[in-house]
Amino acid sequence: MVLELAAVTKRYGDLAALDDAGLVVRRGEFVAVVGPSGSGKSTMLNVMGTLDRPTEGTVRVAGRDIGELSDDDVSRLRADHIGFVFQHFHLAAGATATENVADGLLYAGVPRRERVSRARVALEKVGLGHRLDHRPHELSGGEKQRVAIARAIVGEPTLLLADEPTGALDSTSGAAVLQLLHDLNAGGTTIVVITHDLALAASLPRRVHVRDGVVSAAPPPAGGAAAQSARVAS
């Protein structure tokens, strides 16, 4: 099991942004978390990514209960096991593609020479071996997102969390990035995509819906493997 939320509630004052949510993601799955703006998706992302602790309930990442860990231990767990991809890339403007990706290994304590070497390999993996020394202003939107994905996978995370990864892209670039995510998943990467895009969600093997902080499972897609319908409770 890569990720588990069990009876998770996250409150901000009197507002339950996430309400008694349950989710299990197993190794190798490709899951869409879908819902409208304000549904609780961002809160769920923060909880899944250990960026925020739940008010109630249990969150386990790679078998570790974050409620039993110190803040420093949670930070190490996140660095070792979780990669993040965001809608707006968050690339350092003055840094090359290689430098931006290498920065993804800073908190893992990897020596600089190895960081650079692994960054180049990751960029090759996402099809940007010819853009190693280009800076963000020299890249298209789709290429920037590929750099961001390379940065997220350079540490070989157990779980890749992608927040609206095609939201800032045109349809052609978005389709290319989605295909890249499919390719990474086919290679064994476990991926959860957070999105409001129903068409994108429908293209993935498993969908989880969030509305008003409540999480529920969609029926398995036609021809989908029942084994991929891991437990999701509202």
Mean pLDDT of 138-162: 96
Residue 210: left (phi > 0), alpha (psi -120 to 50), or beta?
beta
Query: Looking at the domain assignment, is residue 72 inside a domain?
Result: yes
pLDDT at 108: 80
The total domain count for the chain is 1
Res 233: pLDDT: 31
109 confidence band (pLDDT: 50, 70, 90): confident
Q: Is the pTM of this model over 0.85?
A: yes
Q: Give the domain range for residue 66.
A: 3-90+140-228
User: CB within 8 A of 144, min separation 6: which ones?
Assistant: 89, 91, 136
The side-by-side arrangement of strands in the sheet containing 56-61 is: 15-25, 3-12, 56-61, 64-65
Q: For the segment 12-32, what is each residue's pLDDT rounded down to a tens digit?
A: 999 999 999 999 999 999 999
In a domain, 98, yes or no: no
Residue 213 reports pLDDT greater than 60: yes
- Reported as a single tens digit per residue, the pLDDT across 68-98 is 999 999 999 999 999 999 989 999 999 999 9
pLDDT, residue 232, reads 33
In a domain, 219, yes or no: yes
CATH code of the domain covering residue 171: 3.40.50.300
DSSP string, 124-164: HHTT-GGGTT--GGGS-HHHHHHHHHHHHHTT--SEEEEES
Token pair, residue 124, equals 């090759």
Structure token pair of residue 19:
């309400």
